[in-house]
Amino acid sequence: MISPYYPQASQVERFNRNLKAALTIFHHSQHTRWDENLLALAVAFNTAWHESTGATPALLLLGRELNHPLGMRWELSEVDLQQSPHDTKDFWGQALANLKRAQDRVARCYNALRSEAVFRPGDLVLEKRHPQSSNILQQSAKIAIKRSGLCVIAEFLTPVTVHSDQL
């Protein structure tokens, strides 16, 4: 159950976050050609094995794996769309059971390692950037790097604001 008008809880928003991270990695220095890799990224996302379900999204949706260049696997026999390689009810039941186990495992690990972060002057931290989009520089803030290099905390200005020195 999710709250209406709360996009952070949506699976689409989660996918968009992953896509934005992938675009940032591939195009952090050249922001004008980000659309050229969308097909390759879609294949990568659809053929990536998901730890929680124990399957790829393509297998869950289509009932078979996708043929792709990285797999170098070409099935030459005709595909029978009526017959699934798995018993559908058992397959989806297993995927759901895997998801529940993964959710419990993640919750246990998250709660066990959760502690208050304490920073002191002299600690090394990453500084948060606030990039601006620029048509002249052909840069988009959405796919720009959000953290700078290592910095040393010099002093605390407020409990949540620090003055830092670049390394």
Q: pLDDT tens for residues 83-138? A: 455 567 787 888 888 888 888 888 888 888 778 888 999 999 888 888 888 888 88
Residue 81 has pLDDT above 50, yes or no: no
Same domain as 24, residue 100: yes
**How high is the pLDDT of residue 2?**
54
Whether residue 65 lies inside any domain: the answer is yes
109 and 128 in a single domain? The answer is: no
What letter would DSSP give residue 40?
H
Do residues 150 and 158 lie in contact, with contact meaning Cβ atoms separated by under 8 Å? no
Percent of the chain topping pLDDT 90: 7
- Domain that residue 140 falls in: 124-166
Residue 2 lies in a domain: no
Using 50, 70 and 90 to split pLDDT, how confident is the model at 79?
Answer: very low
118 found inside a domain? no
**Whether residues 23 and 83 fall in one domain:** yes
R_g of the chain, CA atoms, integer Å? 22
Is 71 part of any domain? Answer: yes
pLDDT at 1 > cutoff 70: no
Q: Are residues 52 and 75 in the same domain?
A: yes
Nearest to 67 by CA among 43, 39, 38: 43
* Domain co-membership, 54 together with 73: yes
66 and 40 in a single domain? The answer is yes
Is 85 within a domain?
yes
Residues 35 and 63 both lie in one domain: yes
**Looking at the domain assignment, is residue 1 inside a domain?**
no
Give the residue-averaged pLDDT of 12-40: 80
Rounded to whole angstroms, the Cα distance separating 56 from 100 reads 17
